[in-house]
Structure 1
Amino acid sequence: MNAWIGWALAAAAIAAGYVGWGWQGVVLGITVTVFWLLLQFSRALRAMQQAAKRPRASVASAVALHAKLEPGLSMLQVMKLTGSIGEKVGDDPETFAWRDAGGDAVHVAFTGGRVGRWQLLRATAGPDAGTHPAA
């Protein structure tokens, strides 16, 4: 959800509380807003704890991650998809990379804290890849 929408809803809850129940409604509106903020904080912490349990910048399948990404996802949502914290590989735009066991990687560029673009980088084949020894 957009932060502006969240804060507008919080202000609307406080205003509705005041109109309906006076100062007690304002207290209720503030309480609901604080509870909502605590839920968001708890969600972020839970995602960080899960990501901290896995190796950094690793993902089960880079191809699957590439297929699941879409523009506008937040870093928290990408961390939930990958299950790990990405490795920062660039600053402008802020770019993070995740790799799988096969060497494939996904580079995700974040613009304004949201996924702007991403790129799948396949592992290069070794010099003897695809050749079989003569029998």
Structure 2
Amino acid sequence: MNWQRWVVMAGAVLLGAGAWRAGGWAGLGLLGSGLVLWFLLYYTRLLTVMKRASNRPIGHIGSAVMLNAKLRPRLPLLHVLALTQSLGERLSAAEAQPEVYRWSDPGQSRVIAEFEGGRLARWRLERPAEPDGQDAAPEA
């Protein structure tokens, strides 16, 4: 992950140099304006996701099966919170890696997700056990 920081820094320096070469101080001002706009858009999305999540009970979602279908590896925690519209119930200790969260639906199905470095590493869907009498097919 350390190499990604170097790539981002090199890209920022190249972008700044290109802005300076293209327009001098005006080019740097335009670049700065664009970066501030990007930051404000990201911050607004973050606040919107957290506001929606704060209005719902912790760890509850509409359908665990639908959430399971929408998850994919390396998905950021913020994106998972946007999908669930709920903060997950934390199962791991504070500051422990991996971070483990659980979301449950009204049918007691659960999705347990593990995040490493803020990104989804693994997840599993757990369904409640069927009572013995409901496994048999209905007789006609």
TM-score by length of 1: 0.83
Distance change (3 Å), C-alpha of 1:4 and 1:32: farther
Instruction: State the secondary structure of the residue aligned to 2:101.
Output: strand
CA distance, structure 2, for counterparts of residue 52 and residue 6 of structure 1: 32
Q: Which residue of 1 aligns with 2:88?
A: 86
State which of 25, 28, 32 in structure 1 corresponds to 2:34. 32
Instruction: State the secondary structure of the residue aligned to 1:42.
Output: helix
Distance change (3 Å), C-alpha of 1:113 and 1:27: same
Structure 2 portions without partners, runs of 5+: none
Instruction: State the secondary structure of the residue aligned to 1:117.
Output: strand
Structure 1 portions without partners, runs of 5+: none
Shift of 1:38: 1.2
Asked whether 1:124 is paired with 2:126, we answer no
CA distance, structure 2, for counterparts of residue 84 and residue 6 of structure 1: 31
Q: Which residue of 2 aligns with 1:70?
A: 72
RMSD across aligned C-alpha pairs, in angstroms?
Answer: 2.4
Q: Which residue of 2 aligns with 1:98?
A: 103
Q: Which moved more, 1:42-51 or 1:21-30?
A: 21-30
Task: Give the conservation status (yes or no) of the 8 Å contact 1:51–1:79.
Answer: yes
Residue type at the aligned position of 2:74: G
